[in-house]
Amino acid sequence: MRVFKFGGASVKDAAGIKNVYSVLQTAGYEDVLLVVSAMGKTTNALELVIKNYFDKSPELQSSVQEIKKYHNEILLDLFEDEKNEVFAAVNAQFAELEYFLAHNKSPNYNFVYDQIVSYGELISTTVLSHFMNFMGIKTQWLDVRNFVKTDSNYRDAEVDWELTQQNISKNVKRKILNITQGFLGSDENNFTTTLGREGSDYTAAIFAYCLNAESVTIWKDVPGVMNADPRYFENASLLNQISYREAIELAFYGATVIHPKTLQPLQKKEIPLYVKSFINPLLPGTSVSKGATLEPYMPCFIVKRNQLLLSLSSIDFSFIMEEHISEIFGLFHEYKLKVNLIQNSAISFSVCIEDKFDNFKDVNAILSKKFKVDFTEHVTLYTIRHFDEKAAHTVEENKTVILKQVSTETMQIITQES
Ligand code: ASP
Ligand code: MG
């Protein structure tokens, strides 16, 4: 069996959905499982609904209507005839969402988030499945919540592999086109959970692992994995082959093409992952598999903006040692600050951190009681895997470098954002 993942950008409008059909014509669709994300920016739009719901905002209704309108336009474009049963099916899902908004009693933000945000994927897969049937491809629509079981850590749920494996082995039919939702799961009480933003790649890997799939293909609007983000670097070029190990390293340093959790299950069973263009499905794209580290071998650049460089030194010139460091990391963990680089000397300790949840001020207040704290906000962290002199120069040219760290394979440079 093969697992295909189509992300939001690939199904953002009627043309995109028609294109999924033509990709399937080219790539084949027998013995395939499709994992699909919410259409376009629907997840963000649903996040706004959730915000409006908790803020008791008068915009709540209109934010829901906006999403309905967007989907309805796509439906009209795809099916024309409003008697097609897809209209009723999608309406029923919106009705469920509205029922939830009207009747929910839970004040738990993360719980409510997952119950609401899941409609993006439930609806996109409903549309896609009806469209494939309409075009003459028989499909099996699977509610992923009956397969991927998780704990109740809403918005970042942990997969229960044993239960998930059982469900998938028992109930996924082969020899047919299966369509299911990325990103979602359910807990022991059958409440909807999610695996973290951009989690659909991970869903594809979960199914591939449990099905012993022959491969996973992530269909994207780029030709494959590039050695640099073309938005920041001229002459970005395509990587043909990456080993699992190297791909995990790249994801760890922040390459966003592949969701980091995706690679481990695939590596365990040596299932190859292909990243291919949904615009040119015949091109080979990138393969992540057992094999060459990197082909062609070249420096790879990863950029992380809006980082914070924090330096701590002891007030009394004492060493910063194990107990301090574990305490500091405990705080980072508790306040969800992500550490992207560490550098320490005897009496000082520097980290480059990402403060996604705006918690740094609280951490700063705590640390300031024990350490001398210096920090610079809005710095950029560049990571160069397989660096050479020219690559380093590309990054450093015309920038103010404030920290640099070099190991055998990796160079990291922090610059002041201009
Ligand atoms: N729709 C979800 C998101 O945008 C999951 C995904 O796209 O992978 O985060
Ligand atoms: Mg998405």
What type of residue sits at position 306? N
Task: Verify whether ligand 1 is closer than 6 Å to residue 199 (CB atom).
Answer: yes
Q: Which of 309, 360, 349 is nearest to 325 (CA)?
A: 349
At residue 418, the pLDDT reads 67
Phi-psi region of 321 (alpha: psi -120 to 50; beta: other; left: phi over 0): beta
Residue located nearest, by CA, to atom 5 of ligand 1: 198
Q: Is the CB of 7 under 6 A from ligand 1?
A: yes
Whether 40 is in the pocket of ligand 1, judged by its Cβ within 6 Å, is no
- Report pLDDT for 318: 73
Contact 182 CB / ligand 1 (< 6 Å): yes
Residue 324 has a pLDDT of 84
Distances (CA, A) of 332 to 156, 197, 235, 298, 377: 18, 21, 37, 34, 16
Contact (CB, 8 A) for 142 and 31: no
Q: What is the pLDDT of residue 145?
A: 98
| Ligand 1 touching residue 114 (CB < 6 A) | no
Task: Domain 300-417: state its class.
Answer: alpha beta
- Domain map (residue ranges) of the chain: 2-220, 300-417
- What is the reported pTM? 0.90
Cβ contacts of 136 within 8 Å, gap of 6 or more:
none
In this prediction, residue 54 carries a pLDDT of 98
Residue nearest to atom 8 of ligand 1 (CA): 198
Class of 2-220 per CATH? Answer: alpha beta
CA of 347: how far to CAs of 238, 310, 316, 318, 320, in Å?
43, 14, 9, 6, 5
**Residue with CA at minimum distance from ligand 1 atom 6:** 198
Q: How far apart are CA 174 and CA 193, in angstroms?
A: 26
Q: Kindly list the averaged pLDDT for each block of 10 residues, start to end, along the chain of length 418.
A: 97 98 97 98 98 98 98 96 94 98 97 98 98 96 98 97 98 94 98 96 98 97 92 90 93 79 94 97 96 95 95 80 84 94 86 93 94 95 96 94 95 90
